[in-house]
Amino acid sequence: MQSPEVPKTKRIVLIAHDNKKEDLVEWVQLHKDTLSKHHLYATGTTGKIVHERTDLPVHRFLSGPLGGDQQIGAKIVDGEIDVVIFFWDPLTAQPHDPDVKALLRIAVLYNIPIANNRRSADYLISSDLLASSYKKTTIDYSTGLPIY
């Protein structure tokens, strides 16, 4: 059973498609102090680049096309991810588009805040809720009612 509360120290996933990796790394560098207070996770290549360029510890899953997106989705279902920062490229078809769509769907289904570009990531990281505990709700889709 998932905890009803999101802890102060968040478990944040960082994902970026190839054409967006540099943008994500620059964003992480800008917010390094804040991100250093949380647990960071990433798909394989993104995690490697973020760690090399920022020296932040990053738990890496497989590369997205090799199953990393699905691994992250499973962690969301298990209640082990609190925030997703996913800089995706809307103009380039990805060989693993079904996995990307499944990850986005599962994040929404489990009420996980997700930022898909720099501006929404800025809003998320600057929220007072990022540094505090938060009562989590999800929806019971069989009844349409919130679960606290």
pTM listed for this prediction:
0.91
Q: Which residues are annotated as a binding site?
A: 17, 21, 43-46, 63-64, 96
**Tens-place pLDDT, residues 19-53:** 999 999 999 999 999 999 999 999 999 999 999 99
Sign of dihedral through CA atoms 71, 72, 74, 75?
A: positive
Per-domain residue ranges for the chain?
7-147
Q: Which residues are annotated as a binding site for substrate?
A: 17, 21, 43-46, 63-64, 96
Q: List the catalytic residue out of 23, 33, 69, 140.
A: 69
Q: Class assignment of domain 7-147? A: alpha beta
The encoded tokens of residue 58 equal 């990053």
Is 82 assigned a catalytic role? no
**Tens-place pLDDT, residues 62-114:** 998 899 999 999 999 999 999 999 998 887 777 778 888 999 999 999 999 99
Query: Are residues 79 and 2 in contact, defined by beta-carbon separation less than 8 angstroms?
Result: yes
